[in-house]
Chain A
Amino acid sequence: MDRYTIHPEIDQDSAPYWKSLSEHAAKMQKCEICGEFRFPPAPTCYHCGKAGGNWETISGKGKIYSWIVVHHPVDKRLAEEVPFIVALVKLREGSRVVGRLIGCNNDEIKAGLQVRAVYDDVDSELTLLNFEIDI
């Protein structure tokens, strides 16, 4: 069975992010005023409220903040994929991002574990950001 992925509804704020994933060099906005990275993409900085910001390439490295193991697929088109692990990762840059955690089992995972980004080319239009344990 073909893999099924719900595609993001990309908007003006998010387009540069999704494009950076397709180029395998994830970028996030960094505020010119306070220097903080932000995610999700937004017109203004969550930390100081200032508009703008530069899209800068991120390390792709971070730590597991939390994770779930999805057993019930909710959308039955995902039924062939369960169980799968979804992680909330705190990046070195300070922001949190979501990805599938691949190549490991639930009992190996702990909060704080180091992970690194893995690019997952779903199709010609979409690349997702996943993570694997970085030892």
Chain B
Amino acid sequence: MKNIKGAIAGVGFTEYSLDSGRSVLSLAVEACQGAMDDAGLAPQDVDGILEFNVGDSVPTESVAAGLSLPEVNYAFDWYGGGFAPCALIETACMAVESGRCKAVLIYRAMNGRSGFRLGGGAGGEAFRAKWAGQYRVPYGWLSFGQNMAMWCRRHMEEFGTTQEDLGAIAVTQRENAIMNERAILRKPMTIDDYMSSRVIVDPFHLFDMSLESDGGCALLITSPDRARDCNKKPINVRASAFLSQATVADPLWADSFLWPDLTENYTRIIAPKLYKEAAIGPEDVDIAEIYDCFTYTVLMGLEGLGFCPKGEGGPFASSGAIGLGGSIPTNTHGGMLSEAYVHGMNVIAEAVMQLRGEGGVRQVSDAEVAVVTSGATTIGSGCILTV
């Protein structure tokens, strides 16, 4: 493999819950403090801080103050959704590589269930009939779940993907969540439980959809040299890529009007860049942590990242290939479907835990190479992480 862009030296979590009873600021600070403690770094060692939000979080300067960081040399707050986590890793690596920063925190913190409900309960900007939303919302197409269901149907029509295939993703991830003490949903679920769950927006049932939850998650990125002096085994960022496309003056809706083919997402475009930069292929990847706001984004990711041929994601998922004992263990923590919805930051955190060998009873043996993604549709990012 080629050179290392940066290293993840620390991971921090809060408890994930449906009602934190706390401020988003306290969640963000706790997650960041956790990442610093995990790495063994003090406030004077950290001089960069980045986050993303959709108007539901706390700004970096507040969190930097809460952590008593004495000197912040680079900070920004990105108004955006699930496409951001891997892109923030990439940005943090650039800040470290350029010499601007010694170590950079990235975080996502939200009261996504008890406060601002991105899924629709709270309404808000995402559901206004403005920008490209004006051509959808008046017809009752209001939510991200409806958007993803529209994408998914096209895949079912073209390739014969079945409801049971989607269910296999939800059921597999639940099996993983049962082995994860942080996960919110740990009740066993069968394919029959999935099939008989409420239809929210056909073709999606309740368990095709991610949780809404409260919590915070943070990562600490530094140079490979500095990471070697930290507490934990460094996890190296070997490749990163980011794509932003076809959004039509519309920061809140990945666009379904212009993207040419709703049976594939950004992973199709970034995967070759990731593999080229890391000088590996999909056959070299041990685990995949794929952004899973909905079951269907996992399916597109499996195909886009080259773990199975295009159109075969459904049978591939149903075959057991994505389970802990399968050819490509996927979303080993239960993902956002069953662990918690921390907007994809927790998806990356799991990759770090697995590569360190800290996966507990759900640890994938000899996990040395992970691919991680952030985002659902036309905007997204990804990284290849290694031990």
What residues of chain A have their CB less than 8 Å away from a CB belonging to chain B? Answer: 5-11, 13-14, 39-40, 42, 46, 65-75, 78, 81, 83-84, 86, 88, 95-100, 106, 110-111, 122, 126, 128, 130
Contacts and interface: CB of A to CB of B under 8 A. Distances in A.
Contacts of B136: 98
Given A6-B138, A88-B256, A65 B248 contact: no
Interface of B: 120, 123, 127-132, 134-143, 146, 149-151, 153-154, 157-158, 198-203, 248-249, 256-258, 262
B129 A7 contact: yes
Contact of A8 (B120, B129, B146): B129
B262 A100 contact: no
Contacts of A74: 120, 127, 142-143, 146
Q: Most chain-A Cβ atoms within 10 A of its Cβ — which of B132, B136, B140, B199?
A: B140
Contacts of A72: 198, 200-201
Given A86-B139, A96-B256, A9 B128 contact: yes
Q: Most chain-B Cβ atoms within 10 A of its Cβ — which of A14, A70, A73?
A: A70
A109 B131 CA distance: 29
Contacts of B134: 8-11, 14
Nearest to A106: B202
Contact of B140 (A7, A11, A39, A70): A70
Shortest 5 CB-CB distances between A and B: which pairs? A8-B134, A69-B202, A111-B157, A9-B130, A66-B154
Q: Most chain-B Cβ atoms within 10 A of its Cβ — which of A14, A65, A67, A74?
A: A74
Contacts of A86: 139-141, 146, 150
9 contacts: A40-B248, A46-B258, A66-B153, A68-B146, A71-B200, A72-B198, A74-B146, A98-B135, A111-B153
B356 to A, nearest CB: 40
